């Protein structure tokens, strides 16, 4: 399921390293929003803005802080695609599955990416380098299928070229 929180060891260490300062800033936000109706979505947005993603400890804190059931908090996070429960990798890879891209092989490109990265949509590679997401139209339908890596739009992507494309980013990171 795409919304499932992974609680493998790596994530737990990441969660424990959330610094106390961030947590106290989060508590301030919670204090401010506690009595406001409709607070859940704005608070989640602020928290994701602060931390980059929404780890379990943070979601539980929000649940208690706003007096909202944890199941509801999780339901809202899973419902909106802009919330993520996984830390983002260095590079965000987004595959367009709009009609044009889909018809012209977007799905195959996505499968190739999943294979190459060894992760599912919404996940991040264990080395923290790539996150994979599905996107809406990038405005380049004429040259479908397209993917976006960070701010680069790549067009007429073929599944067989995926490794080569990713290698460029891998090499660059090594060079830095």
Among 68, 88, 107, 114, contact with another protein (rule: CB under 8 A)? 68
Among 15, 25, 78, 143, binds another protein (CB under 8 A): 78
Greatest Cα pair distance in the chain: 53
CA distances for 75 relative to 5, 19, 99, 137, angstroms: 12, 26, 27, 26
Nearer CB in complex with another protein: 5/29: 5
Out of 41, 64, 103, 168, the only residue in the binding site for another protein (CB under 8 A) is 64
How many residues belong to the chain? 176
Does 79 interact with another protein (rule: CB under 8 A)? yes
CB atoms within 10 A of CB 62: 24
The alpha helices in the chain, defined as continuous H runs, are 9-16, 20-33, 40-51, 56-66, 70-79, 99-101, 107-117, 162-175
Residue 1 touching another protein (CB under 8 A): yes
Q: Is 105 in the site for another protein (CB under 8 A)?
A: no
Binding of residue 3 to another protein (CB under 8 A): yes
Total binding residues toward another protein, as defined by CB under 8 A: 20
By CB under 8 A, name the binding residues for another protein. Answer: 1-5, 59-60, 63-64, 68-75, 78-79, 85
């Amino acid at each position: 399921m795409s919304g499932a929180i992974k609680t493998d060891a790596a994530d737990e260490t990441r969660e424990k390293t959330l610094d106390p300062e961030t947590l106290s800033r989060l508590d301030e936000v919670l204090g401010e929003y506690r009595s406001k109706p409709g607070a859940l979505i704005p608070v989640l947005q602020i928290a994701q803005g602060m931390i980059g993603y929404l780890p379990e400890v943070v979601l539980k804190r929000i649940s208690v802080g706003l007096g909202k059931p944890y199941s509801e908090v999780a339901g809202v996070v899973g419902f909106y695609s802009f919330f993520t429960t996984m830390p983002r990798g260095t590079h965000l890879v987004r595959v367009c599955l709009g009609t044009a891209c889909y018809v012209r092989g977007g799905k195959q490109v996505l499968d190739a990416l999943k294979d190459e990265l060894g992760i599912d949509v919404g996940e991040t590679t264990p080395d923290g380098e790539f996150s994979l997401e599905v996107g809406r139209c990038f405005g380049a339908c004429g040259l479908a299928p397209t993917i976006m890596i960070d701010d680069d739009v790549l067009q007429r992507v073929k599944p067989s070229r995926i490794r080569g494309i990713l290698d460029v980013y891998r090499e660059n990171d090594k060079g830095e």
